[in-house]
Amino acid sequence: MAEQTKKRYISSEDLKTHNKSGDLWISIQGKVYDVSDWVRSHPGGEAAILNLAGQDVTDAFIAYHPGTAWHHLEKLHNGYHVRDFHVSDVSRDYRRLAAEFSKRGLFDKKEHVTLYTLTCVAVMFAAVVYGVLACTSVWAHLVSAVLLGLLWIQSAYVGHDSGHYNVTSTKPCNKIVQLLSGNCITGISIAWWKWTHNAHHIACNSLDHDPDLQHIPIFAVSTKFFKSMTSRFYGRKLTFDPLARFLISYQHWTFYPVMCVGRINLFVQTFLLLFSKRHVPDRALNIAGILVFWTWFPLLVSFLPNWPERIIFVFTSFAVTAIQHVQFCLNHFAADVYTGPPNGNDWFEKQTAGTLDISCRSYMDWFFGGLQFQLEHHLFPRLPRCHLRRVSPVVQELCKKHNLPYRSLSWWEANVWTIRTLRNAAVQARDATNPVLKNLLWEAVNTHG
């Protein structure tokens, strides 16, 4: 009883006032923590905490942190508790499910997915090198380019996994896998990926907080972008100018062609971050890994006999990876969107609303890297991909119990939904009140809707 009287209490409204840089408070299970100074050391980046500051973040904390993380919280506790702390029925069921998965050891049983995938990557890389160096046939070079694209896809999945949980027995080895599968093999910085991807998970499908939806002036999944909103992630205005209006007016036609060269944008974003003034964890290691990629890749291409074949080789390898870029878009572009910061008290609801699953046979799981179970991954990002199919029925039942959407579409249906979403925004961009020069092709296609 004496310990109970020592507690100091604040209301949820008071907690909300501590949501700015230099004054960041969060609560976990009603206990308040001051993370103002610690935020820059957060392994998941600053954005994850900034987006949820001033709120109870219990569900997000459970989703992203192993049990050992709870031991580090006490030193951040500022003595306060939330007086009107409340747990919804959905959150209570979600936490019970997470605890059950942990008790069954699902977060620790990774099987040998990473070993198999990296072995596959190594074999494909050897085949690519052999095809380029030892073969003179144009077709052999073309097949090598296709293999290189598939290699990049599989390597990116390993990088993705290693960013969410330790795919190896130790953290140093996990970091090596990250840098190898990301920076060295694909040329895309794991630091850049973590920076954007963690923010995407926390603020799933928030138009102004989720960087994975902010593609102005090329794409817009919602007409709300036409008001030139400010990106809270990038800290700049997403201007809907005449160029953006023109490009978005045709986005349902340009979607797949842009995806074929989308890798170039990822290279650019990597360089912009690594050579920026932002705080970048392991900046030197990330730059070293990128230099490895930009050494072996141009060198490999230089062994091709002429420039036409070199151009075709590079374009083909980039175009194959478009499959993965399209997949990322299918998981979210046609789902529900919102504006404003995420709400820590409706974690489960926001993830179900903002994600779409892709249905496929189990033998195709390797091809999709587990991300076809996008909702399961968003709810349990630390869960190794080998378990996602197993937990899917349980997640479906939980969604059904609480009358929440669980959308699992075929690859074809997901593409149809995405193109429909892009086309709807394109039509709005060409509204008579916002005229854009129309051509006969547009009129012919859209006369009858």
Domain with 353, as residue range(s), is 344-409
Same domain, 326 and 356: no
Same domain, 130 and 7: no
Determine, yes or no, domain membership for 445. Answer: no
Determine, yes or no, domain membership for 160. Answer: yes
Q: Which two tokens stand for residue 161?
A: 């996994």
Determine, yes or no, domain membership for 102. Answer: no
The backbone region for 369, taken as left when phi is positive above 0, alpha when psi lies in -120 to 50, beta otherwise, is left
Rounded alpha-carbon distances, angstroms, from residue 43 to 115, 143, 148, 272, 279? 25, 40, 31, 20, 12
Q: Is 28 helix (H, G, I), strand (E, B) or coil?
A: strand
Same domain, 265 and 379: no
pLDDT at 241: 93
Q: CA-CA distance, 238 to 217, in Å (whole number)?
A: 8
Same domain, 172 and 312: yes
Same domain, 38 and 124: no
Q: Give per-residue pLDDT as tens, 124-152.
A: 999 999 999 999 999 999 999 999 999 99
pLDDT at 445: 45
In the numeric block, the tokens 């993830």 are attached to 351
For the chain, what is the domain count?
3
Same domain, 313 and 354: no
Model pTM greater than 0.75?
A: yes
Same domain, 149 and 6: no
Check which CATH number belongs to the domain holding 34 and give it. 3.10.120.10
Determine, yes or no, domain membership for 443. Answer: no
The answer to whether 374 and 358 are in contact (CB under 8 A) is: yes
Last residue of a domain, one of 304, 330, 356: 330
Determine, yes or no, domain membership for 440. Answer: no
Last residue of a domain, one of 86, 101, 123: 86
Same domain, 234 and 356: no
Residue 3's pLDDT band, with cuts at 50, 70 and 90, is: very low
Percent of the chain with pLDDT over 70: 95
**Residue 331 in this model has a pLDDT that exceeds 70:** yes
Determine, yes or no, domain membership for 180. Answer: yes
Same domain, 310 and 400: no
pLDDT at 72: 86
Please return the burial class of 14, using the count of CB atoms within 10 Å of its CB with bins 0-12, 13-18 and 19+. Answer: middle
Q: CA-CA distance, 354 to 378, in Å (whole number)?
A: 10
Burial 411-441 (b: 16+ CB within 10 A, else e): bebbbebbbebbbebbeebbeeeeebeeeee
Q: Give per-residue pLDDT as tens, 167-195.
A: 998 899 999 999 999 999 999 999 999 99
Same domain, 187 and 301: yes
Report strand pairing: 31-34 vs 23-28. Answer: antiparallel
Determine, yes or no, domain membership for 337. Answer: no
Q: Give per-residue pLDDT as tens, 390-404.
A: 999 999 999 999 999
Same domain, 54 and 157: no
pLDDT at 439: 46
**Which H or E element spans position 52?**
helix 46-52
Same domain, 370 and 281: no
Determine, yes or no, domain membership for 435. Answer: no
The answer to whether 40 and 78 are in contact (CB under 8 A) is: no
Q: Is 382 helix (H, G, I), strand (E, B) or coil?
A: coil
Which is more confidently placed, 437 or 121?
Answer: 121
